[in-house]
C-alpha cells in the first residue's frame, strides 16, 4: 500500500503542475491583451497618423473632437505625466502600444516619433462575459484533466481490488484452493500475498482437521471394540480371576484411548504456538548431548548405541521446540533401529542442518513425502510402537516450517536405514 500512496500523491502533484502550466500557457497565448484589443490598437495608430497633419498647438483640441465623434475615451498628454519605468515607456512606441490595467479596467498608451514627447491614452472596453466563460471553461478543463490523471492511477487499483474480491468470494463459497495470481504491476502486492498466505494456512488447517477427524474415528474403534468385548466377557463370566483380568485389559484400553485423545488434541492446538516462538542462542554440541542424556533410559532399554558428530557452533532458535523436533526424530529412530543411531549437526550458509540416521528397515521411497503427514503410519511399521499415532514426524515438519526450514527423509548411506535431515534458518537477535 505504501507504493500506492506514493504513486497517488506523486501523480496528483505532477498532474496539478503539468495541467496548470499547460492551461496557463494556453491562456496567455489565446487571450493576450494585444489579441483582444487589436481593433483599438489599429484605431489609435490611425489617430496618431492624422495628428501628424495637425499643428502641435491644435492637437489637443483635435483629439477631443475625435473623442466626441467616435464616442471613445481618448486623451492627448505629455509623457512627463506618466510615472513609468523607461522599459515601459519604450513599449509605447511599438506598433501595438502599451496596454495597462487599473481599477477601472484596461487602457492603451501609444506614442511615436511624430507625437513625442506626447502620447495618446485611450480607455479600452473589455468584454467581461466572454472572459468569465473562458475562465469557467479553463477551470472545467483543469479538473477534467486531473480526473483523467487520477483515473490512470486508480484504475489498476480498482482492477486488483476486483480480483481480490472475486478470490475472496470463491474462498468463502468453499473453494479453499482459490488464490490470487500476484502481478508485478500492482499497488496492493502486500495485501495479495497476505491473502494467499492466509488462504494457504486455512486450507492446511481445514485439511488437517478433516484428516484428524477421520483418523480419530478410525483409530478409536479398536479400543472401543476391545472395551465392549471385555465388558461383555466380564458380565458373562462367573470366575472372579477372569473378571479381574478383563478389567485390567479394559483399564489398559482406557489408558490407550486417553493417550490417543491427548495426542490428537495436543496436535490440534499445535498451530497456536507458531506465533509464540522465543528465540535464544546456545552451542549446538552440548545442547544435543543434553537431549541424548534425557533419552538415555530408552536407548539403554533397547540396547541402542548413538554416535554424535557435531560442531560446537553457536545457534539461534526456539530451543524448546527444536529439542522437541530432535527428540521426535531420535524416538522414531529408536522405534525402528536394530543397533545403531547416528546423529550429526553443522552450520552451513546460515542454516543449521541436523541429521538422524538408523540401521532399521528404512522408509519406502513412495512414502518419503507421506511420512510427515499427520496420522500417517506405514503398514509394515504400524504395530512397532504401542503409542504411535503418526504425529511425531508431523510435529517435526511443523517446527521446521516455523523456523523457515524443512525436513526430508532419504535412505542412509552409512547405516542402510532411514536418514532424516532437519534444516532450519538461523535467526540472530540483535
| 81 and 118 inside one domain | yes
What is the C-alpha separation between 76 and 310, in angstroms, rounded? 109
Mean pLDDT of 400-405: 88
pLDDT band at 427 (very low <50, low <70, confident <90, very high): low
Please say if the pLDDT value at position 343 is more than 90.
yes
Please say if the pLDDT value at position 164 is more than 70.
yes
| 125 and 1 inside one domain | yes
What proportion of the chain, given as a percentage, has pLDDT over 70?
Answer: 80
Q: Please state the pTM of the whole predicted model.
A: 0.52
C-beta separation of 188 from 157 below 8 A: yes
Which tens digits make up the pLDDT trace of 303-323? 999 999 998 889 999 888 899
pLDDT band at 288 (very low <50, low <70, confident <90, very high): very high
Residue 20 lies in domain: 1-129
| 108 and 196 inside one domain | no
- Give the pLDDT of residue 307: 92
Mean pLDDT of 68-84: 87
Mean pLDDT of 91-118: 84
Beta strands 340-347 and 305-310, pairing class: parallel
Which tens digits make up the pLDDT trace of 135-148? 677 777 777 777 77
Domain final residue pick, 85, 110, 129: 129
Residue 33 lies in a domain: yes
pLDDT band at 330 (very low <50, low <70, confident <90, very high): very high
- Give the pLDDT of residue 205: 76
Residue 138 lies in a domain: no
Please say if the pLDDT value at position 383 is more than 70.
no
| 99 and 239 inside one domain | no
Domain final residue pick, 80, 101, 129: 129
pLDDT band at 423 (very low <50, low <70, confident <90, very high): very high
| 291 and 336 inside one domain | yes
CA dihedral 60, 65, 70, 75 (to 10 degrees): 20
**Which of 104-108, 212-216, 263-267 is predicted least confidently?**
212-216
Mean predicted lDDT score pLDDT of the chain: 80
Please say if the pLDDT value at position 260 is more than 80.
no
Q: What is the DSSP letter of 364?
A: -
| 99 and 214 inside one domain | no
Which tens digits make up the pLDDT trace of 245-258? 888 888 887 887 77
Please say if the pLDDT value at position 178 is more than 60.
yes
Domain final residue pick, 270, 305, 328: 270
| 49 and 108 inside one domain | yes
**Which of 185-194, 261-270, 362-371 is predicted least confidently?**
261-270
C-beta separation of 120 from 49 below 8 A: no
Please say if the pLDDT value at position 353 is more than 90.
yes
Mean pLDDT of 37-44: 81
Beta-strand runs (E) in 200-349: 280-283, 305-310, 314-317, 340-347
pLDDT band at 212 (very low <50, low <70, confident <90, very high): low
The total number of residues written for the chain in this structure: 430
Structural domain tally of the chain?
Answer: 3
Task: Pick the more confident residue, 2 or 300.
Answer: 300
| 403 and 282 inside one domain | yes
Q: What is the DSSP letter of 396?
A: H
Please say if the pLDDT value at position 421 is more than 70.
yes
CATH of the domain at 300: 3.30.565.10
| 286 and 406 inside one domain | yes
Cα-to-chain-centroid distance, residue 357:
41
- Mark residue 254 as left, alpha or beta (left: phi above 0; alpha: psi -120 to 50; beta: remaining): alpha
Residue 385 lies in a domain: yes
| 213 and 231 inside one domain | yes
CATH of the domain at 108: 3.30.450
pLDDT band at 385 (very low <50, low <70, confident <90, very high): very low
* Sign for the pseudo-dihedral over CA of 191, 193, 198, 202: positive
Residue 136 lies in a domain: no
- Residue 229, C-beta contacts closer than 8 angstroms, at least 6 positions apart: none
C-beta separation of 329 from 399 below 8 A: no
Mean pLDDT of 167-190: 83
Residue 139 lies in a domain: no
Task: Pick the more confident residue, 22 or 366.
Answer: 366
Please say if the pLDDT value at position 127 is more than 90.
no
What is the C-alpha separation between 227 and 233, in angstroms, rounded? 10
C-beta separation of 413 from 421 below 8 A: no
Please say if the pLDDT value at position 49 is more than 70.
yes
- Give the pLDDT of residue 201: 79
| 80 and 38 inside one domain | yes
Q: What is the DSSP letter of 394?
A: H
- Residue 170, C-beta contacts closer than 8 angstroms, at least 6 positions apart: 178
- Give the pLDDT of residue 3: 61
- Give the pLDDT of residue 430: 40
Residue 148 lies in a domain: no
> Across the strands, what pairs with 408?
421
Closest CA relative to residue 350, chosen from 381, 313, 324:
313
Mean pLDDT of 65-81: 87
CATH of the domain at 257: 1.10.287
Task: Pick the more confident residue, 291 or 10.
Answer: 291
Residue 222 lies in a domain: yes
Cα-to-chain-centroid distance, residue 315:
31
DSSP-assigned states of every residue in 103-139: TTEEEEEE--TTTTTEEEEEEE---HHHHHHHHHHHH
| 390 and 295 inside one domain | yes
What is the C-alpha separation between 156 and 297, in angstroms, rounded? 64
Residue 161 lies in a domain: no
Please say if the pLDDT value at position 269 is more than 80.
no
Please say if the pLDDT value at position 55 is more than 50.
yes
- Give the pLDDT of residue 356: 94
What proportion of the chain, given as a percentage, has pLDDT over 90?
Answer: 12
Amino acid at each position: 500500500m505504501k507504493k500506492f500512496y506514493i504513486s497517488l500523491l506523486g501523480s496528483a502533484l505532477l498532474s496539478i503542475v503539468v495541467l496548470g502550466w499547460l492551461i496557463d500557457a494556453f491562456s496567455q497565448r489565446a487571450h493576450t491583451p494585444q489579441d483582444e484589443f487589436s481593433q483599438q490598437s489599429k484605431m489609435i495608430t490611425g489617430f496618431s497618423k492624422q495628428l501628424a497633419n495637425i499643428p502641435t498647438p491644435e492637437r489637443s483640441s483635435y483629439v477631443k473632437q475625435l473623442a466626441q465623434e467616435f464616442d471613445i475615451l481618448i486623451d492627448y498628454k505629455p509623457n512627463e505625466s506618466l510615472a513609468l519605468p523607461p522599459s515601459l515607456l519604450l513599449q509605447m512606441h511599438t506598433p501595438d502600444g502599451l496596454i495597462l490595467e487599473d481599477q477601472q479596467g484596461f487602457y492603451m498608451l501609444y506614442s511615436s516619433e511624430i507625437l513625442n514627447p506626447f502620447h495618446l491614452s485611450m480607455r479600452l472596453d473589455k468584454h467581461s462575459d466572454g472572459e468569465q466563460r473562458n475562465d469557467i471553461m479553463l477551470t472545467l478543463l483543469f479538473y477534467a484533466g486531473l480526473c483523467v490523471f487520477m483515473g490512470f492511477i486508480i484504475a489498476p487499483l480498482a482492477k486488483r481490488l476486483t480480483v481480490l474480491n472475486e478470490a475472496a468470494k470463491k474462498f468463502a463459497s468453499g473453494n479453499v484452493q482459490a488464490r490470487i495470481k500476484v502481478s508485478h504491476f500492482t499497488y496492493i502486492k502486500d495485501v495479495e500475498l497476505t491473502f494467499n498466505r492466509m488462504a494457504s494456512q486455512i486450507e492446511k488447517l481445514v485439511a488437517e482437521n478433516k484428516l484428524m477427524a477421520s483418523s480419530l474415528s478410525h483409530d478409536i474403534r479398536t479400543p472401543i471394540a476391545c472395551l465392549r468385548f471385555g465388558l461383555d466377557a466380564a458380565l458373562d463370566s462367573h470366575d472372579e480371576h477372569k473378571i479381574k483380568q478383563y478389567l485390567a485389559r479394559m483399564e489398559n484400553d482406557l489408558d490407550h484411548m486417553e493417550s490417543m485423545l491427548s495426542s490428537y488434541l495436543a496436535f490440534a492446538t499445535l498451530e497456536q504456538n507458531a506465533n509464540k516462538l522465543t528465540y535464544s542462542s546456545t552451542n549446538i554440541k552440548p545442547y544435543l548431548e543434553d537431549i541424548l542424556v534425557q533419552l538415555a533410559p530408552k536407548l539403554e532399554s533397547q540396547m541402542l548405541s548413538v554416535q554424535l558428530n557435531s560442531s560446537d557452533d553457536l545457534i539461534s532458535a526456539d530451543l524448546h521446540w527444536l529439542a522437541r523436533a530432535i527428540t521426535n526424530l531420535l524416538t522414531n529412530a529408536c522405534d525402528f533401529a536394530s543397533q545403531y543411531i547416528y546423529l550429526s549437526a553443522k552450520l552451513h550458509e546460515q542454516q543449521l542442518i541436523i541429521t538422524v540416521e538408523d540401521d532399521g528397515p528404512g522408509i519406502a521411497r513412495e512414502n518419503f513425502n507421506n511420512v510427515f503427514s499427520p496420522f500417517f503410519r506405514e503398514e509394515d511399521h504400524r504395530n512397532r510402537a504401542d503409542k504411535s499415532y503418526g504425529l511425531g514426524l508431523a510435529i517435526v515438519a511443523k517446527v521446521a516450517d516455523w523456523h523457515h526450514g524443512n525436513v526430508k527423509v532419504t535412505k542412509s548411506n552409512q547405516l542402510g536405514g532411514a536418514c532424516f535431515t532437519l534444516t532450519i534458518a538461523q535467526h540472530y537477535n540483535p
